[in-house]
Amino acid sequence: MNGPLKVALLGCGTVGSAVLRLLQDQSGDLAARIGRPVEVAGVAVRRPQHHPDVPGDLLTTDAHALVTRDDVDLVVEVIGGIEPARSLMLAAFESGKSVVSANKALLAEDGVALHAAAAKAGVDLYYEAAVAGSIPILRPLRESLAGDQLSRVVGIVNGTTNYILSRMAETGAGFGEALAEATELGYAEADPTADVDGFDAAAKAAILASLAFHTPVSAADVHREGISEVTATDVARAAEIGCTVKLLAICERVAGTDGDSVAVRVHPAMIPTTHPLASVSGAFNAVFVEAEAAGQLMFYGQGAGGEPTASAVLGDLVAVARNRLAGAAGQGPSGYADLAVRPMAETPTRYHVSLDVADKPGVLAAVAQEFAQHGVSISTVRQTGRGDAATLVIVTHSAPDAALSDTIDALREMPAVVGVTSVLRVEGLS
């Protein structure tokens, strides 16, 4: 068997068409790197008439027939969503074909079953493009760092929300205004829910945590909060304490009396402007990794877009093609550690709270008492006065998240508290 390796491309949107273009433009280099030419066997799309640039004899609406064709060796899935992507992937495995996918939602929902199906068939399932677009992060977690112990992976893995938060910080705009600008400039989709409400980042967090901690984590295990409640006041308060607001995907190993567990969460947080992630602005992505032996690492780049994402897809394609020619599948991710997933309520976090209060004796003591009653230790307090009113800005030490949120609820009920004007978690402060 010395003919070209044949690839079925499922989907030809922004990413698929970039994959197709790069496969053609770089065919010579790819053949040299793989050891065999790569040829596109077919391109499955829903509406062939929308793809005038793709040779007509490659286009098909029958994706299932394409992936199960005898002459197809490898499948690239860039359709996205759960179905029909899942059925097509399973059909590919059953007919002995490795799959390269960019499908974060599917991998985050059903990664364990899909890996099991690929392993049973002795083929590969690679999906570098599913998390942070062009940035190589899954392979480093899976391979380069396989000899180390990871403690935390913190990512800015959604470009839309990072763009919005960056503009809020730059211009002082509120969320609605910054979202409108992002939509007009094409950074946000017409329906921005998946990005703004954190679903996209939560799927990526599940994938990152699974690989980092050798533990199956699905999107349903991820605590998720979006950025629509972030106010211009939150952003201004962050600046006052030398911080900036980011939507973070935080995956960490947490030690407990009953053993280690993993905590995985997506929410907006203040981080110090000196933290490497603080300088990631606009639509860029970055993933910050803390490992026992390697120390701190940061991976930075373009997290979306046709060509950047296609770069990751093609990197995987080269890997699975080489494996196929070697007659072997690569090692899939391991779930051997199988750590428990820690509920958000029990996950240690820190809060920044800004309160408008009456400026009179005993108010600060009463506020501090409320924190103490919930077992929350205060790190810093700053007061600014305005006549007989004052603003208290409090940063806590780490405490279980439920204790912190219960404290906020109790503060809202205190007669001396005129208003709780900003509540945001804080990450990366010493």
385, β-bridge pairs: 390
**How do beta strands 150-156 and 284-291 pair?**
antiparallel
Establish if 128 lies at the interface with ligand HSE (CB under 6 A): no
Establish if 306 lies at the interface with ligand HSE (CB under 6 A): no
State in angstroms the smallest separation of the CB of 188 from ligand HSE: 8
- Using the structure block, give the residue that is written with the tokens 């404290």: 407
Three-state secondary structure call for residue 273: coil
Establish if 73 lies at the interface with ligand HSE (CB under 6 A): no
Please pick, from the candidates 109, 195, 316, 427, the single residue that binds ligand HSE as defined by CB under 6 A: 195
Question: Do 96 and 123 form a contact (C-beta atoms < 8 A)?
Answer: yes
Tell me the window of 55-63, 152-160, 220-228, 260-268 that interacts with ligand HSE (CB under 6 A): 152-160
State in angstroms the smallest separation of the CB of 304 from ligand HSE: 4
* 331 alpha carbon, distance to own chain's centre: 23
HSE of 413 in the Cβ direction (CA atoms, 13 Å)? Answer: 7
State in angstroms the smallest separation of the CB of 150 from ligand HSE: 23
Establish if 68 lies at the interface with ligand HSE (CB under 6 A): no
Please pick, from the candidates 17, 68, 134, 160, the single residue that binds ligand HSE as defined by CB under 6 A: 160
Please pick, from the candidates 42, 155, 303, 400, the single residue that binds ligand HSE as defined by CB under 6 A: 303
Establish if 159 lies at the interface with ligand HSE (CB under 6 A): yes
State in angstroms the smallest separation of the CB of 140 from ligand HSE: 19
Establish if 216 lies at the interface with ligand HSE (CB under 6 A): no
Establish if 103 lies at the interface with ligand HSE (CB under 6 A): no
Interatomic CA distance for residues 290 and 286, integer angstroms:
13
Q: Which two tokens stand for residue 183?
A: 């939509």
Interatomic CA distance for residues 166 and 120, integer angstroms:
45
Whether the CA torsion 25, 31, 34, 36 is positive or negative: it is positive
Interatomic CA distance for residues 373 and 406, integer angstroms:
10
Tell me the window of 92-100, 153-161, 329-337, 355-363 that interacts with ligand HSE (CB under 6 A): 153-161
State in angstroms the smallest separation of the CB of 305 from ligand HSE: 8
**Helix residue ranges per DSSP H, 26-137:** 27-34, 63-67, 85-94, 104-121
Residues 6+ apart with CB under 8 A from 58: 40, 41, 42, 43
Q: Select 93 or 199, whichever has its Cβ closest to ligand HSE.
A: 199
Active site (catalytic) residues: 204
Establish if 404 lies at the interface with ligand HSE (CB under 6 A): no
For binding to ligand HSE (CB under 6 A), which residues are involved?
158-160, 195, 200, 303-304
